[in-house]
Amino acid sequence: MWVRRTAIRPVPPYARVPVHALDSVRESLADDDDTAREQLDEAFERFEKNQPTLATSIAETLGKPLDETALALGYFLALAVWLAFEQVHGDHLDEIQEQELIATDELLTLDEELRRSDPAEPLDSDDVIAMEQPHLLEFVHEHVNATLEAHADEVDVDDVHTVYRVVLIEILALSYAVRRPSGYPVAKTELLA
């Protein structure tokens, strides 16, 4: 067992998003026709209906003056992450309340501060999240890196970081909102949290 120093709560194994869900989301978002746009609009409406606090928080962040490329990336990643959770956990996903979202943001902030205060710390906060949701972080990194490579001369890197951070909070908040399946044993890490 790996022991780590982090403020980020562990994600229960049942809340993890498998790679096949992300492959399905990638495929559904790949089309760029009227039908695909209509499906995206419907998905965004479901997101706003089922996770209003999270959707509002993301919209507030993305509503700030941001680089157009970073903004497009933010909307894409926020929707893709939610679609992956919806596909895998659907009816087992609780609505995230404002205090839970604030607490998740504070956990990430605290973890970032812990890592900054220890120059010998080999991991960043997103590395810890990648251990908890490896396929989601791989998907996010793939799209962030592709965006940075394709628009290296024109994209505002600080805006991309703002988008990246809000997506990390979304991943953690949705991970914590997944209800334990009936009969699923309680993990030791959940008892300690």
With H, G, I as helix, E, B as strand and everything else as coil, classify residue 93.
strand
Q: What is the structure's pLDDT at 64?
A: 92
With H, G, I as helix, E, B as strand and everything else as coil, classify residue 32.
coil
The answer to whether 96 touches 51, Cβ cutoff 8 Å, is yes
Q: How far apart are CA 134 and CA 140, in angstroms?
A: 10
Tell if the pTM clears 0.85, that is, is over it.
yes
Q: How far apart are CA 185 and CA 126, in angstroms?
A: 27
How many other CB atoms sit within 10 Å of the CB of residue 139? 23
Phi-psi region of 93 (alpha: psi -120 to 50; beta: other; left: phi over 0): beta
Per-residue pLDDT of the chain (193 residues; tens, 9 = 90+): 344 578 899 999 999 999 999 999 988 887 777 777 787 888 889 999 999 999 999 999 999 999 999 999 999 999 999 999 999 998 899 999 999 999 999 999 999 998 888 877 778 899 999 999 999 999 999 999 999 999 988 999 999 999 999 999 999 999 999 999 887 777 655 555 5
Q: Which of 50, 51, 48, 70 is nearest to 61 (CA)?
A: 70
